[in-house]
């Protein structure tokens, strides 16, 4: 049995703790904001989708076609705060470099290898921790408001199908029959039968953490400020303590970059700022996550109402919210779902993003005792379970079930 510290209390960190406890290790988890807190990472405020279809990275060839609209249009779901452009430019150049057809397809293929194992990473965890009531077995629906938008998606739809994603194309009439609360705006839809969603992602991670504590995990609400690998172990310095461990798992999401640098890896980790609004009491308007493809957001029926989540803003890790993106979410969601009232509780979170669209999974250059599991972009919820299983394999010295070279911290 080893002493293992996990840094980060989101889906990836908690899943890692689950798999490590399952192997019999002594686990201590550190999270500065507290598990499930709204001021924490994307695990609280995401769209709640278990998106096994999400193998198409943001960096794909359509970026070159859509870039002028993204940067200049008032209704763009993608924004760059221009005062941050000097610091963002190196990351953006790498992002564009990885948006070519060849590199984007390689990323999609590598993501599909993880996504194909996503459910197996969660199946036992959900059952054993009693989390099934939060799992809603309804498939996600993508919507296209015009034939031109649907036709523009054909290349990515074909690639999804090539990589094993199950899809069902719907006509306008079939979309209306499936979700009659939607406005008659949508010419086509694509249903992903293998997907599902959570009615409350924050409750999922909170209840999972409580269950893990009941099985021996120690939980500390404090930030880790330094990782110091040593030949015989790893020393962590936190806000209120310094402690030694046999292994450390870095699953700190958008905040992992500086800690990885202390372990010998200059990883170009960025943060996509994402937003959500809550329309309370409106859950009955739709039965499943509905994503408006051109507008870049989801509407998900959660426990307290419809959560509208999405958009991408590049502006660092500051807490200042962009009112224009919140207005865009409000306007577009009410147009798509006319029964919505007025929203409340605007939220901002940070998606940990690498310029090639892949997470970092592997051992640190400075020490094999430090294991990385961060950078999951828009699909940390989906890939949390399988990432945790990979972490446990690396800590135990087992060979993971798939080749980890595409996710190596040294690929940059």
pLDDT for residue 72: 63
pLDDT at 80 over 90: no
Q: What would the two tokens of residue 140 be?
A: 């996600």
Q: Average of pLDDT values for 363-367?
A: 97
Give the Å distances, CA to CA, from 187 to 129, 149, 286, 299, 338: 41, 9, 18, 18, 17
pLDDT at 188 over 90: yes
Chain segment 385-411, per-residue pLDDT in tens = 999 999 999 999 999 999 999 999 999
Q: What would the two tokens of residue 131 be?
A: 């989390």
pLDDT for residue 88: 84
User: How many other CB atoms are there within 10 angstroms of residue 82's CB atom?
Assistant: 10
What residues have CB less than 8 Å from 297, skipping those under 6 apart? 77, 291, 308, 309, 310, 311, 329, 332, 333
Query: What would the 3-class secondary structure string for the chain be?
Result: CCEEEEECCCHHHHHHHHHHHHCCCEEEEECCCCCCCCCCCHHHHCCCEECCCCCCCCCCCHHHHHHHHHHHCCCCCEEECHHHHHHHHHHHHHHHHCCCHHHHHHHHHHHHHHHCCHHHHHHHHHHHCCCHHHEECCCEEEEECCHHHHHHCHHHHHHHHHCCCCCEEEEHHHHHHHCCCCCCCCCEEEEECCCEEECCHHHHHHHHHHHHHHCCCEEECCCEEEEEEECCEEEEEECCCEEEECEEEECCHHHCHHHHHHCCCCCCCEEEEEEEEEEECCHHHCCCCEEEHHHCEEEEEECCEEEEEEEEEECCCCCCCCHHHHHHHHHHHHHHCCCCCCCEEEEEEEEEECCCCCCEEEECCCCCCEEEEECCHHHHHHHHHHHHHHHHHHHHCCCCCCCCHHHCCCCC
Q: Is 400 exposed, middle or buried (0-12, 13-18, 19+ CB in 10 A)?
A: middle
pLDDT for residue 312: 83
pLDDT for residue 318: 80
From the options 3.40.50.1970, 3.40.50.720, 3.40.50.11030, 3.50.50.60, give the CATH code of 3-60+107-407. 3.50.50.60
Q: What would the two tokens of residue 135 be?
A: 């799992």
pLDDT at 74 over 70: no
Q: Average of pLDDT values for 329-344?
A: 95
Higher pLDDT residue, 339 or 33? 339
pLDDT for residue 73: 64
Q: Average of pLDDT values for 82-111?
A: 90
pLDDT at 137 over 90: yes
pLDDT for residue 316: 78
pLDDT at 213 over 80: yes
The pTM of this model reads 0.95
Percentage of the chain lying above the pLDDT 70 cut: 97
Dihedral angle computed from the Cα positions of residues 2, 8, 11 and 17, in that order, rounded to the nearest 10 degrees: 10
Give the Å distances, CA to CA, from 129 to 125, 126, 133: 6, 5, 11
pLDDT at 163 over 90: yes
pLDDT band at 64 (very low <50, low <70, confident <90, very high): confident
């Amino acid at each position: 049995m080893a002493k293992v510290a996990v840094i980060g209390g989101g889906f990836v960190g908690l899943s890692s703790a689950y798999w490590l406890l399952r192997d019999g290790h002594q686990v201590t988890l550190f999270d500065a904001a507290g598990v499930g807190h709204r001021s924490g990472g994307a695990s609280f405020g995401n769209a709640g989708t278990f998106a096994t279809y999400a193998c198409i990275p943001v960096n794909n060839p359509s970026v070159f076609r859509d870039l002028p609209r993204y940067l200049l249009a008032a209704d763009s779901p993608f924004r760059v705060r221009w005062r941050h452009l000097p610091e963002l430019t190196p990351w953006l150049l790498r992002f564009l470099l990885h948006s070519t057809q060849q590199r984007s397809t390689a990323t999609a293929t590598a993501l599909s290898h993880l996504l194909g194992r996503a459910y197996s990473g969660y199946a036992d965890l959900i059952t054993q921790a009693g989390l099934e009531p939060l799992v809603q077995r309804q498939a996600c629906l993508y919507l296209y408001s015009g034939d031109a938008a649907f036709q523009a998606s054909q290349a990515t739809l074909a690639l999804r199908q090539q990589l094993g994603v199950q899809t069902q194309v719907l006509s306008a009439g079939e979309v209306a029959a499936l979700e009659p609360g939607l406005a008659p705006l949508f010419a086509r839809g694509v249903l992903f039968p293998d997907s599902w969603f959570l009615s409350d992602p924050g409750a999922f991670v909170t209840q999972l953490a409580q269950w893990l504590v009941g099985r021996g995990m120690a939980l500390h609400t404090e930030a880790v400020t330094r990782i110091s690998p040593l030949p015989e172990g790893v020393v962590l310095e936190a806000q209120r303590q310094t402690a030694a461990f046999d292994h450390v798992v870095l699953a700190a999401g958008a905040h992992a970059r500086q800690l990885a640098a202390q372990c010998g890896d200059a990883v170009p980790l960025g943060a996509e700022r994402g937003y959500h609004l809550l329309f309370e009491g409106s859950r009955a308007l739709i039965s499943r996550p509905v994503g408006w493809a051109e507008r870049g957001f989801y509407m998900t029926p959660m426990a307290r109402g419809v959560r509208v989540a999405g958009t991408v803003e590049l502006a660092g890790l500051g807490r200042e919210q962009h009112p224009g993106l919140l207005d865009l979410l409000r306007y577009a969601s009410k147009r798509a779902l006319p029964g919505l009232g007025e929203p409340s509780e605007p939220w901002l979170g940070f998606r940990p993003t690498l310029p090639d669209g892949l997470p970092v999974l592997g051992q640190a250059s400075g020490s094999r005792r430090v294991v990385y599991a961060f950078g999951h972009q828009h699909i940390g919820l989906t890939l949390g379970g399988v990432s945790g299983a990979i972490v446990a394999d690396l800590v135990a010295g087992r060979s993971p079930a798939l080749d980890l070279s595409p996710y190596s911290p040294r690929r940059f």
